[in-house]
Amino acid sequence: MGLISVTTKISSLQEGKSAYEAPFLVDTGATDSVAPGNELTRIGLSKQGKMAYELADGTVKEYSFGIGKIAFMGGKCKSQIVSHNEAKTSEKAEFTWK
C-alpha cells in the first residue's frame, strides 16, 4: 500500500495567528502529531508539557507538546502536537505513545 500523506494545517488556539501547512504521513495508530519545533513557535503554539515517547528504534525520549488545531481533508479538531526540532516527514509516523 505504501506511505500515505495528506496536506495538513496546524494552527494555534489563539485567533489571528498564522498556520503551518505541510504534507503529513497518515498513521492510523498514532495518538499525537509531530511537527518541527521552529514552525510551532512561529505560529504561536505554546508548550504545555512534556511526554516520553518511544521511537521506532526502541529508544525513549522526552519531547515538549502543545495543544493546537489540526485541519485536513475538510475536517478540524484539537490535538496534542509534539515539538520535534529535527522532524522530517518520514519521522512523523515513528512516534508511539509510551
Question: Tens of pLDDT along 36-88?
Answer: 999 999 999 999 999 998 887 888 989 999 999 999 999 999 999 998 875 55
* Residues 56-89 as b or e (16 or more Cβ within 10 Å = b): eeeeeeebbbbebbbebeeeeeebbbbbbeebee
pLDDT of residue 84: 82
pLDDT band for position 8 (cuts 50, 70, 90): very high
Instruction: Please give the model's pTM, rounded to 2 decimal places.
Output: 0.77
Topology given in CATH for the domain delimited by 5-97 = Cathepsin D, subunit A; domain 1 (2.40.70)
**Structural domain boundaries in the chain:** 5-97
Q: Over 70: is that where the pLDDT of 5 sits?
A: yes
